């Protein structure tokens, strides 16, 4: 059975991923000079679409190798976190054979091939993903600073009110 700690961990994972997704929105929107247009373009898009656009922008528009590398590294790590989050969210769980564990079950027909997998899931794995998502949010702030220095990014710097909620600078 799910314990309070596991449910709390999954809630934190969802909250942190939402904050990471907001960082992706803000980083992508910063490359569009008109902020109201930027908000319309990124609204409702899948995070994978936004990652693809950021990668293209990095390769085609960023000449500063440090900012370009920082953005591409962040995208790569964030994509992996998105995959791990998807594995958790788009699975079902059964109580494991050993106390305190759950078995994650997932089936997919992606690419026209049926694929099934299962793995034992421990609370520590949920905590690790929560922590990594939080780190990704914090690194997004550094990436925004590096992008701002290039002169090609027009967004507001991300200010972290807490480790889970990036907001525009100047907001209360």
Q: What string of DSSP letters covers 87-133?
A: HHHT-EEEE-SSTT-EEEEEEE-GGG--EEEEEEE-HHHHHHHHHHH
What is the per-residue pLDDT for 97?
66
CA quadruple 143, 59, 63, 39: dihedral sign:
negative
Candidate from 42-46, 64-68, 89-93, 142-146 with smallest mean pLDDT: 89-93
Higher pLDDT, 6 or 97: 6
What is the span of the domain harbouring residue 126? 4-168
* pLDDT at residue 80 tops 90: yes
Domain count, the chain: 1
CA atoms within 13 A on the CB side of 132: 16
Distance of alpha carbon 145 from alpha carbon 21, whole angstroms = 18
**Does the structure show a pLDDT above 80 at 53?**
yes
Q: Are the C-beta atoms of 103 and 88 separated by less than 8 Å?
A: no
């Amino acid at each position: 059975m799910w314990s309070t700690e596991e449910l709390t961990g999954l809630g934190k994972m969802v909250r942190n991923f939402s904050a990471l997704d907001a960082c992706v929105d803000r980083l992508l929107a910063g490359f569009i000079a008109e902020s109201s247009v930027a908000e319309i373009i990124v609204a409702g898009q899948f995070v994978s679409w936004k990652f693809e656009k950021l990668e293209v922008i990095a390769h085609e528009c960023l000449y500063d190798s440090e900012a370009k590398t920082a953005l591409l590294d962040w995208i790569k790590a964030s994509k992996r976190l998105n995959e791990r989050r998807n594995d958790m969210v788009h699975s079902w769980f059964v109580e494991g054979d050993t106390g305190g564990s759950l078995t994650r079950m997932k089936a997919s027909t992606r690419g026209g091939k049926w694929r099934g997998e299962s793995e034992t899931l421990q609370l520590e794995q949920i905590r690790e993903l929560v922590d990594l998502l939080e780190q990704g949010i914090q690194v997004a702030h550094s990436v925004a600073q590096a992008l701002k220095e290039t002169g090609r990014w027009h967004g507001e710097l991300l200010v972290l009110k807490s480790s889970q909620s990036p907001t525009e600078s100047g907001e209360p």
